[in-house]
């Protein structure tokens, strides 16, 4: 407690968010440079596209007008020569389209040759449509001389329209080519400047990224080296000062304070140990016989301490932690005491699947207190399976095996999945992990424990022990399956006959 109080007093309040603000500002600058470069490229491309559009837009418009005029003339000729109703329908459709195109043409007096030609073209088209529609009406009225005369007028007008539109095409093409030629004269310079701007933006962005990456990672690298040194016991490893007021400064100062506090604590412990050793040696010289007697009594007392004393001691510690208001320690002692009480019962007993799952939950909670979030646990349970029975303490050893043998050496941690489900007439309890897996020889050695003649030494309460206890407790009806591949994890499944139900034990 004194050490924590000392650390709290020595820590300096620092401005939060400094590192985050620097990263955001750096990113904004890089994005702004890239936006400028890409915007220039976009504007240059847009300018080129507009020039090309000006080159072809008017030509396409005139070509559509001439195409519609030809269709109208063909449909008019077809109707007047054969009085075909289909030709009449097509004539009405194309003449309507031609009339719509006429509305887009200039009809005002402007000091521009192109606009004046558009005005003439609009009046010619209107005259053509008037003659063509008059010919159709004369054909319907059987006025042969009338529709022949009007047809000739329409045909001559169509020729004039073709000629005038072609002339406008020539004027439009000349104007567009002049504008495009002016753009083409500067396109090489535009492309070169665009390439230079992009390269400069890229190099500038790389320089900014490199500079800020070094600024951020260099002090963290020094902290990492110092942490490795502390891990080797070099508590006086020097750490260069850090001047910026940001989150790294907080870590730096906390680490330096921790070094100082640990060194002082070790010095204090060393001093007390030396003093206690001196006092012990003096007492041993003066009270040799009494000391040996006390040792003998202590040894006898230790041999009498049974596991229930350990459970009762943890329960007393839990009550003391609650009385002191330390709920986290109280919860830890409560979970540990409950787990030990469960584990102290005879291993040959049967328990409900729900009790076995609860034991695993407590064990996982204790593991998280030890390892933090390094390992990820998931429990998947079917409610229907909870009321069936299983040999006690078979899942916890498998979870322990998954951590100790499967995942502990993996820096990135891993996943452990505990499941319980009802599959027809069997209850399936399984523990799977994403660890390093088992070889075929190790799997065969573990499964051999189900054979009553197996003489392989049992070590602890691991997989070998679980396989043997399941076989003995169920009289051979229960079995254990192991699915594993080196580098791809392990799944251990306990398969029990579902004949024993909680309702049958009442």
Query: 216-250, pLDDT tens digit by residue?
Result: 777 777 777 778 777 777 767 777 776 677 677 77
When mean pLDDT is compared over 120-124, 314-318, 350-354, the highest value belongs to: 350-354
| β 490-497/426-433 pair status | antiparallel
Domains in the chain, ordered, with CATH?
A: 34-199 (1.20.120.1730), 306-344 (no CATH), 347-505 (3.30.565.10)
pLDDT band at 49 (very low <50, low <70, confident <90, very high): low
Sign of the Cα torsion 317, 318, 320, 326 reads positive
d(CA 10, CA 30): 38
Choose among 342, 356, 319, 463: nearest CA to 403: 463
3-state secondary structure of 498: coil
Strands (DSSP E) contained in 278-425 are: 350-352, 375-381, 389-391, 414-423
Average pLDDT over residues 113-129: 80
d(CA 274, CA 280): 10
Asked if 490 contacts 406 with a C-beta cutoff of 8 angstroms, the reply is yes
Query: Above 80 in pLDDT, residue 305?
Result: no
Higher pLDDT among residues 259 and 427, named by residue: 427
pTM listed for this prediction: 0.39
Average pLDDT over residues 60-68: 82
pLDDT band at 83 (very low <50, low <70, confident <90, very high): confident
Choose among 449, 495, 447, 442: nearest CA to 468: 449
Average pLDDT over residues 136-140: 84
3-state secondary structure of 394: coil
Query: Alpha helix (H) ranges present in 141-238?
Result: 144-231
pLDDT band at 448 (very low <50, low <70, confident <90, very high): confident
Higher pLDDT among residues 398 and 258, named by residue: 398
Asked if 366 contacts 358 with a C-beta cutoff of 8 angstroms, the reply is no
All residues at 6 or more sequence positions from 34 whose CB lies less than 8 Å from its CB, including other chains: 201, 205
Asked if 11 contacts 255 with a C-beta cutoff of 8 angstroms, the reply is no
Q: What does the pLDDT read at residue 494?
A: 94
All residues at 6 or more sequence positions from 162 whose CB lies less than 8 Å from its CB, including other chains: 66, 69
Distance of CA 23 to the CA centre of its chain: 21
Query: Above 50 in pLDDT, residue 421?
Result: yes
Q: What is the rounded average pLDDT for all residues in the chain?
A: 75
Asked if 386 contacts 357 with a C-beta cutoff of 8 angstroms, the reply is yes
3-state secondary structure of 429: strand
Average pLDDT over residues 203-221: 78
pLDDT band at 290 (very low <50, low <70, confident <90, very high): very low
Sign of the Cα torsion 176, 181, 186, 188 reads positive
Q: What does the pLDDT read at residue 307?
A: 55
User: Which residue is listed with tokens 């073209």?
Assistant: 121
How many other CB atoms are there within 10 angstroms of residue 128's CB atom?
Answer: 26
Sign of the Cα torsion 246, 250, 256, 260 reads positive
Query: What is each CA distance from 211 to 23, 83, 217, 218, 343, in whole angstroms?
Result: 11, 85, 10, 11, 57
d(CA 449, CA 467): 6
Of 71-75, 313-317, 425-429, which gets the smallest average pLDDT?
313-317
d(CA 317, CA 312): 9
Asked if 414 contacts 433 with a C-beta cutoff of 8 angstroms, the reply is yes
Q: What does the pLDDT read at residue 296?
A: 32
Asked if 360 contacts 471 with a C-beta cutoff of 8 angstroms, the reply is no
- The angle subtended at Cα 421 by Cα 418 and Cα 423, nearest 5°, is 140
């Amino acid at each position: 407690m004194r050490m924590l109080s000392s650390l709290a007093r020595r820590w300096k309040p620092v401005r939060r968010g400094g590192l985050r603000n620097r990263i955001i500002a750096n990113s904004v600058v890089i994005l702004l440079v890239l936006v400028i470069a890409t915007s220039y490229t976009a504007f240059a491309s847009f300018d080129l596209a507009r020039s090309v559009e000006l080159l072809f837009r008017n030509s396409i418009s005139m070509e559509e007008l001439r195409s519609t005029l030809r269709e109208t003339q063909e449909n008019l000729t077809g109707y007047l020569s054969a009085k075909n109703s289909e030709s009449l329908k097509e004539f009405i459709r194309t003449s309507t389209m031609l009339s719509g195109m006429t509305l887009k043409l200039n009809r005002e007096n402007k000091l521009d040759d192109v606009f004046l030609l558009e005005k003439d073209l609009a009046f010619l088209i209107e005259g053509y449509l008037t003659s063509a529609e008059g010919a159709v009406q004369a054909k319907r009225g059987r006025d042969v001389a009338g529709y022949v005369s009007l047809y000739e007028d329409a045909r001559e007008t169509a020729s004039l329209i073709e000629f005038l539109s072609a002339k406008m095409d020539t004027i439009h093409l000349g104007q567009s080519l002049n504008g495009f030629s002016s753009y083409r004269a500067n396109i090489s310079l535009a492309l070169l400047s665009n390439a230079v701007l992009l390269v400069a933006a890229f190099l500038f962005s790389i320089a900014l990224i490199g500079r800020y990456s070094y600024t951020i990672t260099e002090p963290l690298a020094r902290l990492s080296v110092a942490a490795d040194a502390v891990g080797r016991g070099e508590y006086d490893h020097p750490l260069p000062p850090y001047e910026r007021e940001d989150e790294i400064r907080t870590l730096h100062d906390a680490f330096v304070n921790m070094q100082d506090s640990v060194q002082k604590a070790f010095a204090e412990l060393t001093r007390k140990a030396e003093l206690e050793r001196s006092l012990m040696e003096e007492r041993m010289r003066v009270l040799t016989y009494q000391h040996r007697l006390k040792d003998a009594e202590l040894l006898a007392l230790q041999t009498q301490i049974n596991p229930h004393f350990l459970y009762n001691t943890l329960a007393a510690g839990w009550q003391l932690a609650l009385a002191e208001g330390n709920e986290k320690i109280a919860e830890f002692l409560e979970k540990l005491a409950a787990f030990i009480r469960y584990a102290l019962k005879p291993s040959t007993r049967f328990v409900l699947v729900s009790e076995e799952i609860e034991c695993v939950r407590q064990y996982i909670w204790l593991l998280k207190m030890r390892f933090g979030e390094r390992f990820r646990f998931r429990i998947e349970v079917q409610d229907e399976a909870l009321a069936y029975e299983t040999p006690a303490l078979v899942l916890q050893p498998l979870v322990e095996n998954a951590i100790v043998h499967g995942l502990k050496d993996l820096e990135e941690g891993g996943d452990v999945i505990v499941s319980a489900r009802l599959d027809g007439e069997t209850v399936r309890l399984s523990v799977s992990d994403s660890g390093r897996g088992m070889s075929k020889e190790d799997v065969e050695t573990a499964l051999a424990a189900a054979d009553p003649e197996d003489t392989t030494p049992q070590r602890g309460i691991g997989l070998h022990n679980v396989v043997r206890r399941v076989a003995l407790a169920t009289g051979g009806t229960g079995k254990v399956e192991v699915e594993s591949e080196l580098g791809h994890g392990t799944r251990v499944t306990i398969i029990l006959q579902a004949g024993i139900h909680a309702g049958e034990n009442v």
